[in-house]
Structure 1
Amino acid sequence: MTWPLGPVCSPCYYKHRKSPAPCAECCAVRILVGRTAAGNGLCATCCDHEDAAARCRLCTAPADLRPDGLCPHCSLTDQLRHLLADDAGTVPAHLHPLVSILTDAANPYPVLDWVRRSPSAHLLAQLVRQPGSLTHEALDALPQNAPTSYIRGLLVTAGILVKRDENLARLERWVKHTLANLPSHHANIIRPFAQWHTVRDARRRSARGRYTVSAGKGDANNIRCAQQFLAWLDTHGLQLSTLKQPDLDLWTATHPSKASTIVSFIRWAQARRLVTGLDIHYPPSQYPATFQPEDAHHEQLRRCLTDTTLPLDVRITGALIRLYALPLSRIVELTADRYSRDSEATYLTINRHPVILPPTLGRLIEEQIDHLSGTSAHRRQIADELSYLLPGQSPGCPRNPLGLADTLRRHDLPARAARNTAMIEAIADIPPIVMADLFGIQPHTANRWAQLVSESWSHYLAAP
């Protein structure tokens, strides 16, 4: 094919069709088939191409027509009506916000591909034809896979479903499934521990806004460990009510990796007098053992700030870890509104107070925010101004920290060793109490790090 800009091969033709951009003359977002003398892109109308007279049969605007004779926006609206229509052929009123966010995109081509090919779109088409299926409860009953998660996020973004803490909901769903498969004599003990202790505490933490993926996994591990402990008692012919100290010591000796995990269940059982006379021996706290050489640490930071071949999200994450010792669970929860700037500097509010950013990192975060604002509507959290700086695959959800850790490793930017090294460097320069306040670290954690570098904040607190 030949366009005004010259011969176009098939791969480039389809690439251009999927990547419309603002025309340098009319500013309309269209496929750019020509160039100005300065090298800026022109649409077919502005460069008098033979397709200049092509007009959408609905809106009559000059457009890059689809096979149905419609411009991309009108074609998308038409396809969404077919996708979301009920048996009467009309889109229900409660789904109109969903149509609005899906059609509110400068570039409709990604959404057109999503409607045509995505398993999530096919699942949505099935659900809208089933009364009562667009609820959290109905979605919880489906296989918890990527399409289900995506549809849930999309419905929350559109305001059709209320926003909820998915980490907490995942734990509650897992607990319900786990209890249903327990022997009755185990369920009678595990149920109150799981529901009235673990899940209730998780709800309190969620209400404070600090219930992370890692927290949910930790709570599930506590319940799973209690199950394994009761099964071990059965195997050895023991009863929880007659459990003695040597029995508990034998468990911890034969299950050293679970010695700290079982503590939550034993403390709960003692508080309810299910067991008595037991001493809980906490495993000694271990100091971090994985660090980086100083020169390697600084070289990785330099890569994050200057290496343009690295993905933008990798550069931002790697720099935040190495500059501020932030864990991935905290980084993925950062929202775009936490970034600010004035005439002098750029800032990121990590906990309660703005922290000044290096100019290069500030520019990277600005670039990421600009990228988010240009993302197609069905991928961004437009119903919530607090969009995540690192959004996940599902609308309204942050990036999974475990997947982000894998991505960093693939780029030779390990997270754990880098964070430990950054903590050592920061705690040597900043009083622990100040670091805890700025970066949202628990005070006792900051104090342990200070002890590791032979410092203590007691001198800071005693200062006038």
Structure 2
Amino acid sequence: MAKVKVFWPRGPVCNSCYRAALSTPTPCASCSRPRILIGQTAEGTLLCKACSFPDEPVERCSACGEPADLYSGDRCPRCTLAARVTDLLSVDGASVAQPLQPLADVLAGAENPYRVLQWLRRSPAAHLLGCLARDPGALNHESLDTLPQRAATAYVRGLLVTAGILPPRDGNLALLTNWVARTVSELPARHANLIRPFAEWHIIRDARRRSARGRYTYAAHKGDCGNVAAAIDFLNWLDSQHLCLRRLQQLHLDTWATDRPTLRSRSIPFLRWSTARRLCPPGLVIDRPASQLPGHFQAEDVAREELLRCLNDTALPLDVRVAAALVRLYALPLTRIVELTEDHISGDEEHTYLAVNQHPFVLPPKLARLIDDQLRHSTPRHSTTAGRRYLLPGQSPGRPRNPLGLADTLRHHGLPARAARNTAMMDSLADLPPMVIADLLGIHPKTAERWATLVGENWSEYVSLLT
């Protein structure tokens, strides 16, 4: 064999390269086994340790007998992972309880054992999971809701759901109900007695209806939280003015709306709810500010150039190319894109279809290939065949990517979403009637009508075609 240049473990290597070698083992160019590659031939091909030192005895796992990169106890990564998962999830360190066995199978059966070993060693979520495993009664949504809602808690919850130990639930609806419960518990009694029924019987009840239709998005959760927060701020303002709801007058509302323009629209639901229950005098109104027309657009050549980047630039991350292309071709908001799953994609021998709302439409061949590649390469670290498989999976198992973080990522790569979506919506309504756009993209007909008015179109032509 030609002379081999060895980088590790008998040569210098930086910490970044060492971590990369552990997390992304690739097939050896000589034996084709997925191993940690430590050597390089003069031709540039990468070799594992066994092929780099062919004269030395082959290292074999003491448990399964297969040649491998050995860990402590002379065990291969797969056998080491199985032992560490058992130690994490068992009370006695010898066996995993039957209710947790599906989770043990998910962790021990991961496609890349190196990444899971690294996760077990360093992640706060793994430490939390080990603590919960010692108390089987804590493995339910209610117990997890009482913990600090950090990233580790969300990750463990998603892991338990994907393993089938916990039943699935609408994550966005759960975020709302948990936030309301924590917020109301911190209010003084006189405010809690008003905010609790408003939140539970008006905000959360409507959120449950939308969740049952599969239309309760992360943006909807943030908006509902904003409505409750505005109601709390309004009650605090009344206290500062030595007022109460029963003594409220229109002059007071006008002052509130002027002093807090950012909360003006958010406080309308609470005022209407209070009026309907005769908690304040009738006839009081907060004028909703006129809908602002979009002000950010792109020039035609800029929009075309960015779309070509999404379809052709292989230097961009695959998820960025897919998300940015969907924004620029179909004017989809990021909150809708992150909710797309493999169930929204279908195809036949000739075409691939995307069904955003009810009716599928044909995808361009290049975008169809990008989406297919994204689905094949977006497998989360811990996953099962059960549950929804998102086109853009998030950090927590069973959850989609955060649209706010996705927007920042697109901006970082020079592909901002807002101006591109406004431009795409204008182009779409120039070619199709607004009713068709509303039906295909799942936007409200009034929203489509407002956009059509901006473009200069109206409904009359489309209605005349139907009659």
TM-score, structure 1 as length reference: 0.92
Map of 1:152 onto structure 2: 157
In the alignment, is residue 110 of structure 1 matched against residue 110 of structure 2? Answer: no
Kept in 2, the 8 Å contact 1:335–1:389? The answer is yes
Kept in 2, the 8 Å contact 1:351–1:439? The answer is yes
Whole-angstrom distance in 1 between the partners of 2:57 and 2:369? 39
Map of 2:303 onto structure 1: 297
Map of 1:96 onto structure 2: 101
Whole-angstrom distance in 1 between the partners of 2:265 and 2:110? 50
Map of 1:133 onto structure 2: 138
Note the C-alpha offset of 1:385: 5.2
Map of 1:412 onto structure 2: 414
Whole-angstrom distance in 2 between the partners of 1:4 and 1:332? 49
Counterpart pick for 2:372 among 348, 352, 366: 366
Counterpart pick for 1:339 among 334, 345, 357: 345
The worse-fitting range, judged by mean Cα deviation, of 344-353 and 20-29 is: 20-29
Return closer, same or farther for 1:41/1:88 CA change in 2, 3 Å cut-off.
closer
Counterpart pick for 1:349 among 337, 351, 355: 355
Return closer, same or farther for 1:284/1:18 CA change in 2, 3 Å cut-off.
closer
In the alignment, is residue 245 of structure 1 matched against residue 277 of structure 2? Answer: no
Kept in 2, the 8 Å contact 1:158–1:383? The answer is no
Kept in 1, the 8 Å contact 2:191–2:232? The answer is yes
In the alignment, is residue 220 of structure 1 matched against residue 222 of structure 2? Answer: no
Kept in 1, the 8 Å contact 2:3–2:41? The answer is no
Map of 1:211 onto structure 2: 216
The worse-fitting range, judged by mean Cα deviation, of 243-252 and 410-419 is: 243-252
Whole-angstrom distance in 2 between the partners of 1:38 and 1:3? 9
Kept in 2, the 8 Å contact 1:98–1:158? The answer is yes
Return closer, same or farther for 1:13/1:201 CA change in 2, 3 Å cut-off.
closer
Whole-angstrom distance in 1 between the partners of 2:20 and 2:292? 53
Map of 2:386 onto structure 1: 384
Note the C-alpha offset of 1:69: 0.6
Whole-angstrom distance in 1 between the partners of 2:78 and 2:326? 39
Map of 1:30 onto structure 2: 35
Whole-angstrom distance in 2 between the partners of 1:169 and 1:154? 16
Whole-angstrom distance in 2 between the partners of 1:159 and 1:147? 19
Map of 2:450 onto structure 1: 448
The worse-fitting range, judged by mean Cα deviation, of 198-207 and 235-244 is: 235-244
Note the C-alpha offset of 1:451: 0.6
Counterpart pick for 1:426 among 425, 428, 444: 428
Whole-angstrom distance in 1 between the partners of 2:121 and 2:143? 24
Kept in 2, the 8 Å contact 1:340–1:347? The answer is yes
Counterpart pick for 1:311 among 311, 317, 321: 317
Whole-angstrom distance in 1 between the partners of 2:75 and 2:446? 63
Kept in 2, the 8 Å contact 1:44–1:51? The answer is no
The residue type paired with residue 323 of structure 2 is T
Note the C-alpha offset of 1:456: 1.0
Return closer, same or farther for 1:195/1:13 CA change in 2, 3 Å cut-off.
closer
Note the C-alpha offset of 1:242: 2.7
Note the C-alpha offset of 1:91: 1.5
The residue type paired with residue 283 of structure 1 is P
Note the C-alpha offset of 1:387: 0.5
Whole-angstrom distance in 2 between the partners of 1:208 and 1:52? 62
Mapping of 1:8-47 within 5 angstroms?
8=7, 9-11=12-14, 15-22=20-27, 28-31=33-36
Kept in 1, the 8 Å contact 2:4–2:52? The answer is no
Return closer, same or farther for 1:150/1:249 CA change in 2, 3 Å cut-off.
same
The worse-fitting range, judged by mean Cα deviation, of 215-224 and 11-20 is: 11-20
Return closer, same or farther for 1:279/1:391 CA change in 2, 3 Å cut-off.
same
The residue type paired with residue 24 of structure 2 is S
The residue type paired with residue 10 of structure 1 is V
Counterpart pick for 2:264 among 253, 259, 262: 259
Note the C-alpha offset of 1:194: 0.9
Note the C-alpha offset of 1:41: 6.7
- Percent identity among equivalent residues? 55
**Any idea what the Cα deviations from partners look like across 1:385-407, whole Å, max 9, x if unmatched?**
53001000000000000111111
The worse-fitting range, judged by mean Cα deviation, of 6-15 and 182-191 is: 6-15
Note the C-alpha offset of 1:26: 6.8
In the alignment, is residue 67 of structure 1 matched against residue 76 of structure 2? Answer: no
Whole-angstrom distance in 2 between the partners of 1:227 and 1:44? 64
Whole-angstrom distance in 2 between the partners of 1:13 and 1:175? 45
Query: Can you give the 5+ residue segments of structure 2 that lack an aligned partner in the other structure?
Result: none
The residue type paired with residue 278 of structure 2 is R
Note the C-alpha offset of 1:161: 0.9
The residue type paired with residue 225 of structure 1 is A
**Any idea what the Cα deviations from partners look like across 1:26-56, whole Å, max 9, x if unmatched?**
7653345789999877766789824563221
Whole-angstrom distance in 1 between the partners of 2:38 and 2:187? 65
TM-score, structure 2 as length reference: 0.91
Total equivalences in the alignment: 459
Kept in 2, the 8 Å contact 1:388–1:398? The answer is yes
Whole-angstrom distance in 2 between the partners of 1:459 and 1:245? 43
Secondary structure (helix, strand or coil) at the match of 1:329 reads helix
In the alignment, is residue 82 of structure 1 matched against residue 87 of structure 2? Answer: yes
Kept in 2, the 8 Å contact 1:44–1:50? The answer is no
Counterpart pick for 1:462 among 457, 461, 464: 464
Return closer, same or farther for 1:10/1:33 CA change in 2, 3 Å cut-off.
closer
Whole-angstrom distance in 2 between the partners of 1:50 and 1:93? 46
The worse-fitting range, judged by mean Cα deviation, of 429-438 and 298-307 is: 298-307
The worse-fitting range, judged by mean Cα deviation, of 154-163 and 255-264 is: 255-264
Map of 1:169 onto structure 2: 174
Note the C-alpha offset of 1:13: 6.6
Kept in 2, the 8 Å contact 1:244–1:277? The answer is no
